């Protein structure tokens, strides 16, 4: 019988240029550029077109910890241990605007889907939201009691999720600026968090080697993966929402099939900890970075459906504005809501995989 996964992911190319550990990667929306940050204080913008020269942006006075392209791709945000955020124009000039953002290391920066604002997270225990174009501070969220490692907007921009060394994941309402819920199931520092493309659930990675997926509506734990043998440093959802890729200090990347609740692939590319990973906007590629100073670009191969087509078919006509949300949610609920039985089955599958893969 033909496998539903046509080929294993393959290493497409790798970029050398950083002089210290790579901390973060992000693709531009049009896939023409890939940005990476490093402990060497530099930001690199690599061109996906072969034989094109990379841009090296200097300006940060200490390690670059996070990077994110704006939805338009015309701007690139970076955060640093120097406590600042810089907004760059990713061209040969590399001009940037500096935001004196926090009183300690900036760990995370992420643009809202409309590009009008961005959110930052810091070791000063706060999350801050900023206006992109007016270049001003909007408001702060401060209920974490330890370093905040990561903060992300939901796809619709109405919620913010954050991960902290206080061992919690917090969900915030952007309008009321209130903490809606705290997820406290992690056994250690929470290193990374992100929203599922549907906005209905979040996945968080932890120092306790786990990945956990929660429903943001019911706040139930949907899935719990313990597949890595060291801290999970980053994760990224495939745009289809069916897959999750993780990067770990055990030096591997792992690709999880979320619909089946099982491990699909383990990728060995980095020498030493894999620190960061991100899918491209189409899901055709993903990039990873490691303490080996390497940036690697992988071709996914495992999902050949054109999800652009699927989304176009599922998108209801504009005249049904009032019911469009309901339709989308009903489709997603069919796909995503795991019953108790399904969750139990997923956990049993994982245990079997663990038994098979443990020497």
Q: For residue range 253-311, list pLDDT tens digits in order.
A: 999 999 999 999 999 999 999 999 999 999 999 999 999 999 999 999 976 554 444 44
Core vs surface per residue 97-112: b (16+ CB within 10 A) or e: eebebbeebbbbbbbb
Q: How far is CA 277 from the centre of its chain?
A: 7
CB hemisphere CA count around 17 (13 angstroms): 19
> Structural domain of residue 300, as residue ranges?
10-304
Hey, how many other C-beta atoms are within 10 angstroms of the C-beta on 17? 16
Answer for the pair 76, 94: CB distance below 8 angstroms, yes or no. no
**C-alpha distance across the termini of the chain, in Å:** 28
User: DSSP class of residue 292?
Assistant: T
* pLDDT score of 263: 96
Q: For position 348, what pLDDT does the model report? A: 54
DSSP state of 319: G
Domain assignment present for 4: no
Encode pLDDT of 21-79 as tens digits. Answer: 999 999 999 999 999 999 999 999 999 988 888 999 999 999 999 999 999 999 999 99
Helix, strand, coil % in the chain, rounded to nearest 5: 15, 45, 45
Q: Which residues pair with 164 in a beta bridge?
A: 148
Q: Is residue 328 part of a domain?
A: no
- 11 pLDDT above the threshold of 60: yes
Alpha helix positions (H), the chain: 307-314, 321-336, 340-357
Give CA separation, 301 vs 84, 304, 336, in Å. Answer: 38, 7, 23
Let me know if residue 169 belongs to a domain.
yes
**Cβ pair 291, 234 in contact under 8 A:** no
How many Å apart are CA 173 and CA 159, to the nearest integer?
5
- Average pLDDT of span 114-121: 97
Give dist(CA 320, CA 173) in Å, integer.
26
Does some domain include residue 357? no
Could you tell me the CA-to-CA distances from 86 to 89, 109, 207, 265 in Å, in that order?
A: 10, 10, 28, 36
The answer as to whether 337 is a domain residue is no
The total of structural domains in the chain comes to 1
Q: What pLDDT is attached to residue 321?
A: 32
Instruction: Tell whether 227 is covered by a domain.
Output: yes
Pairing of strands 76-80, 64-69: antiparallel
**Each residue of 176-226: pLDDT tens digit?**
999 999 998 777 899 999 999 999 999 999 999 999 999 999 999 999 999
Q: CA-to-CA distance for 238 and 255, rounded, in angstroms?
A: 10
- Main-chain dihedrals φ then ψ at residue 333, nearest 5 degrees: -65, -35
CATH code of residue 148:
2.130.10.10
Report the alpha-carbon distance of residue 28 to residue 280 in Å, rounded: 8
Ranges of beta strands (E only) in 219-273 are 221-225, 232-237, 243-248, 252-257, 262-268
Give the chain's mean pLDDT: 86
Residue 4 is predicted with a pLDDT of 54
* Domain-located, residue 208: yes
Within a domain: residue 5? no
Please give the structure tokens belonging to residue 284.
């055709």
């Amino acid at each position: 019988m033909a496998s539903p996964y046509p080929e294993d992911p393959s290493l497409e190319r790798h970029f050398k240029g950083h002089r210290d550990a790579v901390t973060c990667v992000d693709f531009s929306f049009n896939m023409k550029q890939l940005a990476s940050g490093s402990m060497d204080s530099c930001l690199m913008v690599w061109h996906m077109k072969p034989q094109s020269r990379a841009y090296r942006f200097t300006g940060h006075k200490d390690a670059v910890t996070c990077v994110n392209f704006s939805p338009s791709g015309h701007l690139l945000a970076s955060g640093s241990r120097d406590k600042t955020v810089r907004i760059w124009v990713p061209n040969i000039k590399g001009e940037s605007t500096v935001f004196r953002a926090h009183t300690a290391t900036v760990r995370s920066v992420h643009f809202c889907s409309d590009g009008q604002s961005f959110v930052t997270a810091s070791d000063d225990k706060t999350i801050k939201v900023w206006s992109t174009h007016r270049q001003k501070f909007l408001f702060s969220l401060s209920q974490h009691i330890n370093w905040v490692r990561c903060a992300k907007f939901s796809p619709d921009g109405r919620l913010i999720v954050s991960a902290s060394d206080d061992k919690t994941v917090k969900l915030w309402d952007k309008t009321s600026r209130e903490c809606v819920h705290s997820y406290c199931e992690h056994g250690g520092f929470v290193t990374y968090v992100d929203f599922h493309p549907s906005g209905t659930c979040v996945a968080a990675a932890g120092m306790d080697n786990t990945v956990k997926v929660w429903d943001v509506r019911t706040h139930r734990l949907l899935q719990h993966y313990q597949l890595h043998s060291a801290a999970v440093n980053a994760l990224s959802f495939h745009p289809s929402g069916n897959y999750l890729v993780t990067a770990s200090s055990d030096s591997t990347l792992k690709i999880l099939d979320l619909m089946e609740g099982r491990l699909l692939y383990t990728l060995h590319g980095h020498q030493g900890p894999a620190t960061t990973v991100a899918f491209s906007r189409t899901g055709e590629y993903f990039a990873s970075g490691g303490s080996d100073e390497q940036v690697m670009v992988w071709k996914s191969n495992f999902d050949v459906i054109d999800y652009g087509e699927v989304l176009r078919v599922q998108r209801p006509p504009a005249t049904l504005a009032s019911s469009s949300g309901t339709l989308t949610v009903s489709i997603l609920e069919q796909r995503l809501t795991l019953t108790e039985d399904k969750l139990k089955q997923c956990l049993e599958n994982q245990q079997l995989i663990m038994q098979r893969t443990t020497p």
